[in-house]
Amino acid sequence: MTARARLVGINHAALEVGDVEEALAFYGRIFRFELRGRAGRMAFVDMGDQFLALGEGRRQPEDDHRHLGLVVDDKEAVRTALQEAGAEILPGRGLDFRDPWGNRIQVVDYRDIQFAKTPAVLRGMGLDGLEKSERALAELREKGLAGDDA
């Protein structure tokens, strides 16, 4: 059998938007972020050791099931910002919304999921006090991913 590479993580995700400047303004009303850079009709939003690429030129209809899950440090602050921006918050048990170009975005709180940044990355992002919920820690422990301090 041929050796297969193991999935390690996601370096970035890309969203098609109608206009990059409008997208940066929209997402800037919802999230606090730093612009990593720009290239042509693309902008790159920093997320610590990952990034989100916004590319101008939406060519697809609205997304219903396909979505991007973004991890935040304060899900309720996102809900408030979405309401203030007049964004379409989708019904359901979580916090999903549709951006002006039809991209479906799901927002999850870092504390409540097994996804984890290294202490160095959290420190570099100014989030070194951000801690996991007991449920998330249990998921990490079950997979042997919690580290000695959890």
Which pLDDT does position 62 carry in this prediction?
84
Would residue 150 count as lying in a domain? no
Closest listed residue to residue 99, CA positions, set 16, 39, 40:
16
Which pLDDT does position 148 carry in this prediction?
55
When pLDDT is cut at 50, 70 and 90, the band that residue 120 belongs to is very high
The whole-model pTM stands at 0.89
Would residue 87 count as lying in a domain? yes
Question: What are the pLDDT digits (tens) for 46-77?
Answer: 999 999 999 999 888 888 889 999 999 999 99
Would residue 111 count as lying in a domain? yes
60, two tokens: 């697809």
Question: What are the pLDDT digits (tens) for 72-102?
Answer: 999 999 999 999 999 999 998 899 999 999 9
- Residue with tokens 């970035």, as numbered in its chain: 12
Question: For 29, which DSSP code?
Answer: H
Domain that holds residue 39: 12-58+65-142
